[in-house]
Amino acid sequence: MPILSLTIQILLFLVFAVGGAIRFFQPIHVLAKRMLWVKYFNPRVVRGIAFIEVICGIGIIIPLVLTDFSFSFVFYSGCLLMATMVGAVVTHLWIGDYKQIVGNLVILGMIYWVTFPTFP
């Protein structure tokens, strides 16, 4: 189970840190063509969400690199990412983009798996 958790942590890092960085630096009109939800938000909010994703994606993987911390990076990063993904689910329900919800729920489950491990 620890190898699965490690794999999920690396995958979440790639999804959020790398994907968020790409969303942070791309022009808003390019993002709006690829993602329906961008049209409904102020560009500052879109950039803020991308920034949160980058910071939390890095926070998910920091314990793999730096092991001597009393601060739980995974817990706080995971909780903030779960709140972000719940917001994503609500947003996709609200705008009627239902096909994105399943992916958001899968990612939400992966974040929960890493944030609250159930194995000894």
Residue pLDDT, tens place only, 73-111:
899 999 999 999 999 999 999 999 999 999 999 999 999
Q: Which domain holds residue 70?
A: 2-115
Residue 59 lies in a domain: yes
**What tens digit of pLDDT does each residue of 29-71 get?**
999 999 999 999 999 999 999 999 999 999 999 988 887 776 7
In the prediction, which pLDDT does 72 show? 85
Residue 92 lies in a domain: yes
In the prediction, which pLDDT does 2 show? 79
Q: How far apart are CA 120 and CA 115, in angstroms?
A: 14
Q: How far apart are CA 12 and CA 33, in angstroms?
A: 24
Q: How far apart are CA 69 and CA 34, in angstroms?
A: 39
Residue 120 lies in a domain: no
> Structural domain tally of the chain?
1
Grade residue 120 by pLDDT with cuts at 50, 70 and 90.
low
